[in-house]
Amino acid sequence: MTAIDNAVRNGVDTATLFATIDAVRGDTDLAKFQFRATNRWLSGTHNQSTIHGFRGAKQEMTHRQPFTFDADHPPVLVGTDNGPTPVEYLLHALAACLTAGIANIAAARGVTLTEVSSTVEGDIDLLGILGLSDEVRNGYQQIKVSFTVRGDDPEELRTIVEQSRRRSAVFDIITNSVPVSIQVSTD
Amino acid sequence: MTAIDNAVRNGVDTATLFATIDAVRGDTDLAKFQFRATNRWLSGTHNQSTIHGFRGAKQEMTHRQPFTFDADHPPVLVGTDNGPTPVEYLLHALAACLTAGIANIAAARGVTLTEVSSTVEGDIDLLGILGLSDEVRNGYQQIKVSFTVRGDDPEELRTIVEQSRRRSAVFDIITNSVPVSIQVSTD
């Protein structure tokens, strides 16, 4: 490990990052995580999730505080606009995952970033979810992410974004699908 | 349309809901929407999205206010825990979408709900995103949603959840995949 590997760069403690990866390499069970959200319906399309506890590194943990988020539909979709729609939260998740990866990978490669900003656009035809067409899918037909990335090694920036895409959890979930099981209790 | 169809039930204005569906049936271009999120990197794995404008019903619209959300990694993942992880936001999006659908569908069917609550759990093996295995995927291996639903027609509640699943945008995105394109500007 060279001196540059030990630097805090882009706000990333690279020494701790590399030590964490080494620890997981030595005990792969540390890598098994379970994340959770609990949700409560409030009224109409308005509901609220809380995110607090998760399991990982062979122990039960919590975030430093419970985080709560309201979701709703806007008036044009017969809601009361108390928060973004669920599909907008999904775009946020994608942008956030790719951006965190860019910062980590740049730090690991010794590249100092000055800006990472992005716009994510998702095109959706609501004929699906409104039940007006069986040929139109319910979800987004396509998603486009537009990044602006600036840093001290312009040649390397595109390969950093590409590596973040290759290792992004949310990108994988959206582009490769995940099995979802639903259980219902009515007791 | 019967009297019951005109009721506000579960906080859902069913008359407006049915009128909206009728309007879209008459002009299907009204159903074409584009949702957006903009994201800005702050430091390390900490970044923030803003959700405000969207396009739909043949016009540019905004939510009644800009909504902002912080994402980060917890300390165990070398972050500063200024918000949930991106993959937790995705669980929230799934719960919120299914729950909004349950409220709408129950209202449309004349079923009054008294409770909809859920826990969503996503299992993930971080060997993928840490670059320690090419056989382990980056995203969730499976997601489990556990609903408790109560209302005045217990027999109907399970079929309402099933219909919400069949028409959920986020469920479709996660289980059936969406193409994502990424553009990068380094100017």
Tokens for B4? Answer: 């019951």
Q: Do the chains contact at B47 and A116, CB–CB below 8 Å?
A: yes
Q: Give chain B's mean pLDDT.
A: 95
- CB-based contact, A122 to chain B, within 8 Å: yes
What is the pLDDT at residue A1?
A: 42
Could you tell me the pLDDT band of residue B147, with boundaries at 50, 70 and 90? very high
**pLDDT at position B2 over 60:** no
Any A CB within 8 A of B17 CB: yes
Instruction: Give the model's confidence band at B6: pLDDT under 50 very low, under 70 low, under 90 confident, else very high.
Output: low
pLDDT at B17: 94
Q: Write the pLDDT tens digit of every residue in B83-137.
A: 999 999 999 999 999 999 999 999 999 999 999 999 999 999 999 999 999 999 9
Dig out the tokens for A5 from the structure: 């590997």
pLDDT digit of tens for each residue in chain A (187 aa)? Answer: 444 545 799 999 999 999 999 999 999 999 999 999 999 999 999 999 999 999 999 999 999 999 999 999 999 999 999 999 999 999 999 999 999 999 999 999 999 999 999 999 999 999 999 999 999 999 999 999 999 999 999 889 999 999 999 999 999 999 999 999 999 999 8
Residues of chain B with Cβ-Cβ distance to A119 below 8 Å are 36-39
Query: Residue A172: what pLDDT?
Result: 98
Chain B residue with CA closest to A123: the answer is B34
Handedness of CA A50, B120, B71, A48 (dihedral sign): negative
Nearest neighbour of B172 by CB, restricted to A42, A138, A146: A138
In chain A, the residue whose alpha carbon lies closest to the alpha carbon of B52 is A84
Q: At what angle do helices A86-108 and A154-166 cross, to 10 degrees?
A: 130
pLDDT at site B12: 95
pLDDT at B3 over 70: no
